[in-house]
Amino acid sequence: MSQSRLIRQQDLIELAPDQPIPLSVFQKLLEKGWQRATHQLREYRALAAHAYLVIQPDSGMLSPYECIPDDTEGMIVVAFGEHRTVVVGPTLMELEALHPGLGGAAMRILTNALAWDSPPYTPMGAYELACYLYWEGMDDESHLVNDDYDIDEVITKQELFGGMPEWAYEPCVKNIVPSDEFLTLAERYKHSAYAPLMTQLHELSAANRTFVRHAQRWNKKGGMISSLVDDPVAGPQLAALYWTTPSEDPIYRVFDDDYQQNMQGGMTEELGAIRFDLTKQGLTGGLKRLYLLDQFFSVLDRTITMLEDYDEKHQSSLLINVFAK
């Protein structure tokens, strides 16, 4: 991907780096530079994400988002559309069968990459939510048996997660493969159909660590807002990874209950944002952050697309077996 800048050197040659850019000049720069810079951002296959610009409300370029902080001058908003749903159970089970600890490690990599600012739509994210939604922060419902609960109304761990192995949803299961061993295992099992997925998961793990490191530094400087939504539970979801078909997967209930409880059935657009000062350096720095985010999304997009391909192969095999009978 081209590393073009939002504005070019010749656009800014007469501007001082740290001095505020006059609004009239800034608007002209935007007209010349914004589309020129951002049209080269990657078009994702699986993720629905796009970026656009918001300027301080009193500048005449009004923002439709009331939750943007009053002290914000400029902001690149990263908006998310409808998340992609992928079934990962059969694929991760085969990874685990190929090498013990590999399926659990893959689930952790995927969960960490999708945890933008809230429990992600994965079995591990569902388990984290279930602990607080149904079991008062505990690991299961066992402590509720002796309380004033109608046992028939208690949602049990078995109901939600009984159809999957513990390594698929438990965060503290031991004996999983370290992510830095994925390349070694990909070489060991290079004749396996899953070798490309192991390599891709290793790349995703590394990309996520790099992005998190940058994001933490930006947050300390007030340069990045991971979510503009008031309720942190309702963070953006780039993709939803279910163990089985969502309509049949019990963990769908967890996500639905969480949404109903925290959103009261309303709709809140899910956003992330990169904040910058209206100066030459601030504007250029904001775009650099956008490109780093785009690089991470691109790796994640390739991974989700690959998981979709594996899921389609499983579905095709299932149909072949059905017709063979």
Given this model, what pLDDT does residue 142 score?
Answer: 81
The pLDDT value given to residue 13: 57
Asked if residues 99 and 194 have their Cβ atoms less than 8 Å apart, the reply is: no
pLDDT given for residue 31 in this prediction: 56
3-state secondary structure the chain: CCCCCCCCHHHHCCCCCCCCCCHHHHHHHHHHHHHHHHCCCCCCCCCCEEEEEEECHHHCCCCCCCCCCCCCCEEEEEEECCCEEEECHHHHHHHHHHCCCHHHHHHHHHHHHHCCCCCCECHHHHHHHHHHHCCCCCCCCHHHCCCCCCHHHCCCHHHHHCCCCHHHCCCCCCCCCCHHHHHHHHHHCCCCCCHHHHHHHHHHHHHHHHHHHHHHHHHHCCCEECCCCCCHHHCCCCEEEECCCHHHCCHHHHHHHHHHHHHCCCCCCCEEEEEECCCHHHHHHHHHHHHHHHHHHHHHHHHHHHHHHHHHHHHHHHHHHHHHC
CA 260 from centroid of its chain's CA atoms: 21
Predicted local confidence at residue 207, as pLDDT: 93
Determine, yes or no, domain membership for 1: no
Any domain includes 147: yes
In a domain, 120, yes or no: yes
Task: Return the pLDDT at 137.
Answer: 82
Do 47 and 270 contact (CB within 8 A), yes or no?
A: no
d(CA 37, CA 78): 15
Q: Is 214 exposed, middle or buried (0-12, 13-18, 19+ CB in 10 A)?
A: middle
| 262 falls within a domain | yes
Q: Which pLDDT tens digits describe the chain residue by residue (325 residues)?
A: 222 344 555 565 556 666 666 656 665 666 566 655 565 566 788 887 777 676 654 544 444 444 555 555 677 777 777 788 999 999 999 999 999 999 999 999 999 998 876 788 999 999 999 998 888 888 888 877 765 666 667 888 999 999 999 999 998 888 888 888 889 999 999 999 999 999 999 999 999 999 888 877 776 665 565 554 444 444 567 888 999 998 889 999 898 888 777 665 444 445 567 777 777 777 777 778 888 888 898 999 999 999 999 999 988 765 444 444 4
Full residue range of the structural domain in which residue 319 is found: 84-324
Domain assignment present for 170: yes
128 part of a folded domain: yes
Which residue type is seen at 279?
T
- Distance between alpha carbon 45 and the CA centroid of its chain, in Å? 15
In a domain, 6, yes or no: no
The pLDDT, as a whole number, for residue 69 is 55
pLDDT at res. 320: 47
Give which of 113, 137, 65, 59 is closest to 304, Cα–Cα.
113
Report how many domains make up the chain. 1
Cα–chain-centroid distance for residue 217? Answer: 19
Residue 181 lies in a domain: yes
* Dist CA 154 CA 145 (whole Å): 9
